[in-house]
Amino acid sequence: MMINNSIKHIQNALKELDDEVQKILLDWSIPLNEKDNLMLPILQQKRVLDQTLEDLIYLKEHPPTPNQPCGISKYRED
């Protein structure tokens, strides 16, 4: 199933981002304020991936019925 592959890829990406954060935290040659600057974009990416992962897990557990409109069209302008 495609959702399972996507979930797996996102989990792998989250692990890689966690590893990057750990490397930054454990590197004593980087000043604290620089660590914050380096980690901010990583943490922002993690937040987006966490939300995407939650959405995919929800979809996996609550699949839409076939031929059901996704609902996005009500947000689009014609």
pTM of this structure: 0.76
Residues 12-61: tens digit of each pLDDT: 999 999 999 999 999 999 999 999 999 999 999 999 999 999 999 988 88
What does the block give as tokens for 67?
């031929």
Q: What is the pLDDT of residue 13?
A: 97
SS3 12: helix
Q: C-alpha angle with apex 73: 77 to 58, nearest 5 degrees? A: 140
On whether the CB atoms of residues 57 and 63 are closer than 8 A, the answer is: no
At 70, the amino acid letter reads C
Residues 56-78: tens digit of each pLDDT: 998 888 887 777 666 555 554 64
Q: What is the pLDDT of residue 72?
A: 53
